[in-house]
Amino acid sequence: MSENSAAPGTPPATAPGPQPEPIRFFGTTWVDHDGGYGLRRAGVAAGSLAAAVAACFVLRFAYEGLEIAEVGGFVGVLVIAMFSICSAIAFRKTWEGFGARPEDPSREDALRGLKSIGFIGSLLAYFIRSLTEAPGEKLRRTEYEKARAQFEKRRSTRTGNPAARKASGRKRPKRG
């Protein structure tokens, strides 16, 4: 196989040190902004916006179904309030997830149902973030650069075999 058989933006398997964490839809193209990164970002932005618009139409049809069933105004208000509040919470949690890892993963698991009800908020957060960067790129870039710096620091302190080093002019006294 040739060296260029890997997907664009994928680091070589034998590269020493930490490897970048792939991002959904982007792989590792976010590291050097290569491999169609700009087109992927435009596609993700358009796709998430289109999905949010389609989801709004689906919710509108569901609301019209409630009106046809004549369940009453109170139920309609509850449905609108539920989706609005859940979408706002999902937007906020998704947006925060782009900037920092969750402090309590079990709490995030507990919010999974709420975020799935408010999926429109998550889609809108994904759309807005993809206008400036790949969603989660800033977080992963800082983690990756920190890991690379630590790796380089560890690597630079280990220079060769310590047993093979020559004595530096001073002799240590023998223990007796």
What tens digit of pLDDT does each residue of 3-26 get? 444 555 555 555 778 899 999 999
Say what the pTM is: 0.76
Spatial distance between the Cα atoms of 22 and 25, rounded to a whole number of angstroms:
9
Choose between 123 and 173: higher pLDDT.
123
Phi and psi, residue 154, nearest 5°: -65, -40
Given its phi and psi angles, is residue 113 left (phi above 0), alpha (psi -120 to 50 degrees) or beta? alpha
* Sequence-separated (6 or more) residues with CB below 8 Å from residue 95: 125, 129
pLDDT one-digit tens code per residue, 116-136: 999 999 999 999 999 999 999
Residues facing 23 on adjacent strands: 27
pLDDT higher than threshold 90 for residue 171? no
pLDDT band at residue 154 under the 50/70/90 scheme: confident
